[in-house]
Structure 1
């Protein structure tokens, strides 16, 4: 009996120390986890209010903040149990190297994601074309992938490395876009009348910008028509509205002036054998 009591008495300091460390570790873990959530919400609130920060990067900044705090919390918890911080860092480094070799493609996407978010060739809400991989409105630029919504409503997900490595055409980055529309006039019709009517049309159109000034000019000769080019500038977000409307109103303006659009004519000769 006395031996058992001696063993318990000798082990008691160790048990008390372990219990104390466990209690402190739990407190650190709970407080640290709550602090990480608070820091994440604070960063999200701060960055979402800033007009200088792209909103696509806000969730990523929040996640980075949360997990940075949590990693330090976990290191502090392990250090409380006597685990050397240097050993933890060495293990994390070795694990990171092994994971990096196994996930090279994923890391490429992450690196490309950081480049896309840092340099911002595309932003949420912009209409872009990724050469050879489709076009659409940017829905999200994440750490691993970019999401596009095509004009037909199809959801396209592209790896960031593919987006970063491809030519990108951004149709929304500039505030204005140029529109060139070609209309044919039949040979023999009054060319000056056609140009005058189309000039009057674009000068009075509410979506056509006054600067740069609209241009209406004879552009080319085709087999059955003289081509008139209508060159105007519009706000980027109203480009397609203007394009569709000019197709309709240009035809109406020429028709009201007594001018008809050319119709392709094919001459067919038949040879009769005697």
Structure 2
């Protein structure tokens, strides 16, 4: 009888050891295959961004990382199943932990979601001059959380993406050719056609003002003390600020040389002599 019991115990021990050994081997196999598969998926998704110039590489690398960790989480749960561990509670725990982290990082997640949308829809790119979140500058870097601008006075402005997305964005570099609006006033006694000719000559001689499309030059307003022209020359986007800040000075000098008066506000004071 004792020999029978000992034989049963030995057989049960051997069977249990074989089962545990099989589970361990399967768990290791699942880990190896799962890790390899996660790496391949991550590389594949990240590689999509490198194949097309219009796709943002960093965004696809981020998606690749997300896919990798999701697959690894599933692999971890599959390994636990191999050892008979109840995974429903583990999944619930992971969900609760994810919710807690999400609530703690609301600001960061809003910046992240805005960064993803900015990289997908691409309202601007590195090198563009933009007005966004009340700031103006040249875009030097775009990442998943922030957009970095460089101002004309060489300051760096770091703007959270959540402050940009959903607000008005003005991209001054989107179109290759831009119009530059300006206003110039002359006195009522001056010859309008002569003044028009002076301004046109300045535009013709400017190296960055385009002939096609042709500039727009017309009388816009009859003010109290001046006749105001609206002038809109066109130029390449990279020459916008050169035209914007050089043409007014040249027009002023040309009008002075032509002896055309540029009016400025006058105040007439009339003094009444009291009764003596």
Q: TM-score range by the shorter chain?
A: 0.7 to 0.9
Aligned to 1:142: 143
Gaps of 5+ in 2: 1-12
Aligned to 1:250: 251
Relative distance call for 1:224 and 1:177 in structure 2 (3 A) is same
Q: Secondary structure at 1:128's aligned position in 2?
A: strand
Aligned to 1:230: 231
- Does 1:115 find its partner at 2:114? no
Paired with 1:89 and 1:152, the residues of 2 have a C-alpha distance of: 53
- Does 1:97 find its partner at 2:99? yes
Once the two structures are overlaid, the 10-residue window that deviates more, 251-260 or 83-92, is 83-92
Aligned to 2:63: 64
The answer to whether the 8 Å contact 2:34/2:71 transfers is no
The answer to whether the 8 Å contact 1:128/1:170 transfers is yes
- What's the C-alpha RMSD, in Å, of the aligned pairs? 3.5
Task: Name the count of aligned residue pairs.
Answer: 260
Paired with 1:26 and 1:50, the residues of 2 have a C-alpha distance of: 33
The answer to whether the 8 Å contact 1:178/1:231 transfers is yes
The answer to whether the 8 Å contact 2:140/2:149 transfers is yes
Normalised by the length of structure 1, the TM-score is: 0.74
Gaps of 5+ in 1: 1-8
The answer to whether the 8 Å contact 1:220/1:227 transfers is yes
The answer to whether the 8 Å contact 2:42/2:67 transfers is no
Q: Secondary structure at 1:148's aligned position in 2?
A: strand
- Does 1:52 find its partner at 2:51? no
Paired with 1:84 and 1:173, the residues of 2 have a C-alpha distance of: 56
The 5 Å alignment of 1:162-201 reads 162-201=163-202
Paired with 1:249 and 1:48, the residues of 2 have a C-alpha distance of: 48
Q: Secondary structure at 1:108's aligned position in 2?
A: helix
Aligned to 2:218: 217
Paired with 2:90 and 2:75, the residues of 1 have a C-alpha distance of: 10
CA drift of 1:239 comes to 1.0
